[in-house]
Amino acid sequence: MKNTKAYILGVLAQIIWAGSVIFAKDALKFFTPLTLVTARFVLAIIFMFLLGTLARRLAPASPLALSKLKYKDLPMFAIAGMLQPFLYFIFEIYAIKLISSPTMAEAILSTGPLFAPLFAVWLMHEKIRPNNIIGILISSTGVAMVLFAGNKNFDIGSVWGVMFAFLAVFCAVIYSIILKRIPLEYNSLTVVFYVQLFGLMMFIPTWAMLDGAEVVSQLPQMLSSEYLGNAVLDLLYMGILASVCAFVMFCFTIRQLGVTKANIFNNFAPVFTALMMLAFFGERLPIAKWVGIVVVIVGLFICQLYLPKRTK
């Protein structure tokens, strides 16, 4: 199958990100939201710098070798870093906080694949086939079934929360478009490293102003907390697997498949989260959710289907 590697990495990225939701929930017993986000990207940058520098010295041609950023490309990387991780995670945090139902918040945050084709056509003149649109609509219907089946609380809450959720989606879609435009001379690790480095440069002063003094004052209690061990494991998962491995994988998928086809993989995240809750926490799934999972997979295959043009 064409682009098999891109498909596999796209799915693996969503599995990792689905798990990060569970790990983040546990980590928030120890960290404040902004502290958790900042800490995970500090760890990610350190890990990528060490890995990329070592790979560059041992095997310069390796896809993990960190290369230097050209001055002319700096604005593109800075804008990408501002959009995601910086603005996306801030908007996401406040959306989850202000929207009454977590299910409703997750539903809005999962609408990226619906908007991606519009921006891809408008900004990149990316060709969209009818099967792409049909697949996106079918897969999104499956996501709605996974999210809403068996849930009765659909109170929206604050309108500001809804606005923040859609702003987060907008940032994620534009971020994926910028990734597609970054020259292919940069490997995926280099792209993710510099994008997250610019994002971290924005996170650190924001964290210092909002959470820094409180975290420093509570540091002795945090170090003696019963949650410390779990918090370290949660941070390792989110900082290395979710913020490095998954981002590098999905970066490769976007650059190989394009914005429209790559973004539909985001529909898998709620599905994998539901399956993980079943596997690790025994949370039973109603039959409608299982049907929704099948519908998501069918929609994904239809969207990715290659239909050759008819010849007269």
- 185, 70 Cβ separation under 8 angstroms: no
Distance CA 271, CA 151 (A): 15
Length of the chain (residues): 312
> For residue 113, which of 95, 92, 128, 97 has the smallest C-alpha distance?
128
290: in domain: yes
Six token digits for residue 126:
């990316």
Residue 311 placed within a domain: no
pLDDT tens sequence across 226-257: 888 999 999 999 999 999 999 999 999 999 88
CA separation, residue 311 to residues 102, 302, 307, 308 (Å) = 49, 22, 12, 9
Q: Output the pLDDT for position 81.
A: 96
pLDDT grade for 56, boundaries at 50, 70 and 90: very high
Please indicate, yes or no, if residue 310 is contained in any of the structural domains: no
The SS3 call for residue 154 is coil
Domain contains 14: yes
Asked if residue 155 has pLDDT above 80, the reply is: no
Is 0.85 topped by the overall pTM? no
Residue 190 lies in a domain: yes
Give the whole-angstrom CA distance, residue 280 versus residue 53.
37
Residue 309, domain member (yes or no): no
Both tokens assigned to 85: 């991780």
Q: Which residue has the tokens 């025994």?
A: 282
Compute the distance between CA of residue 212 and CA of residue 206 in angstroms, rounded to an integer.
9
3-state helix, strand, coil in the chain (%, to 5): 80, 0, 20
Question: Does the residue 231 lie in any domain?
Answer: yes
Q: Containing domain of residue 200, as a range?
A: 4-304
- Count of domains forming the chain: 1
Q: What is the pLDDT of residues 188-214, one digit of tens each?
A: 999 999 999 999 999 999 999 999 998
Secondary structure E strands in 157-283? none
